[in-house]
Structures are given as structure tokens and as C-alpha cells.
Amino acid sequence: MSDTIRQQWLHGFLDFCLLNLLAGGREYGRGLAARLDDAGLGEVPGGTLYPALLRLEKQGLIGSVRVPSSVGPARKYYQLTGRGRAELRGQRADWEVFRDAVGAVVSGVSGVTEGRPTL
């Protein structure tokens, strides 16, 4: 996959990926970046990651708390809010519909499956 395509897709799905990672518990920025990289999404620069976290925080989907560190400055940990958990449930349902639709296009299936919602 080219870096350009990966970056375009990542920008479109970064918020969704972050919410999913935070569903497992609180995490700090570098930890989230490492988990995204470990998942195969590549290195996400701070100039992309931190604005996304700030955007999610401003929307009330995540909260943050600073935790003292014994090896340096305090770390800012992020966690889902109740509103974020509800939003994530809806986004996961939307993701399944979108994933299936893209899969149908990629595999060359034509027509709409009976009973399946459309985008």
C-alpha cells in the first residue's frame, strides 16, 4: 500500500480507531500511537494524533487526566466517556454496513442484499 493511500484512509478512520482502542481502557498518546503501529497502520505522527485526540475530547467522547510519572513529566491519559461509549456502539454498527458495502464493491458483487441497510 502506498503511503499516500494509507494516510488518506488513516485520516478517515483515525477517530474510529482511537475510540476502539480506548474502549479497552485508558491510554496515553504515545501508547495509542504504538498500538496503531502494532496493528499495522504505520507510524502516526503527533501532528496527526494529538489534534484527533483534542477533537474527540472537545466532542465529549473522551476525557483526559494527567498522571504523574516517576521517569519524567506527567503523562496525559485519555479514556472514553459515557457519551463516547454510546457513540462507539453506533459507529461500530455503521462500520459493519460500510465494510460490507465496500467488500461487495471490491469483490464485484452487484445489487443490494435483501434486508441489508444501505449507506
Q: Is 14 a domain residue?
A: yes
So what's the pLDDT on residue 30?
A: 94
Q: Write down the pTM of the prediction.
A: 0.83
**pLDDT tens digit sequence for 63-86:** 999 999 888 899 999 999 999 999
Q: What is the pLDDT of residue 15?
A: 96
| pLDDT value at 115 more than 60 | no
Which range marks the domain in which residue 49 is found? 3-80
Please indicate, yes or no, if residue 15 is contained in any of the structural domains.
Answer: yes
Q: How many domains does the chain have?
A: 1
Distance CA(66)–CA(69), nearest Å, equals 9
Q: What is the pLDDT of residues 35-58, one digit of tens each?
A: 999 998 889 999 999 999 999 999
Q: Which residues pair with 52 in a beta bridge?
A: none
List, in sequence order, the alpha helices (H) in 1-119. 3-22, 29-36, 46-58, 82-107
Cβ atoms 50, 70 nearer than 8 A: no
Give residue 2's pLDDT. Answer: 74
Residue 87 within any structural domain of the chain? no
- Evaluate whether residue 33 is within a structural domain: yes
Residue 106, in any domain of the structure: no
- The CATH number that applies at residue 11 is 1.10.10.10
Residues 6+ apart with CB under 8 A from 85: 23
In a domain, 55, yes or no: yes
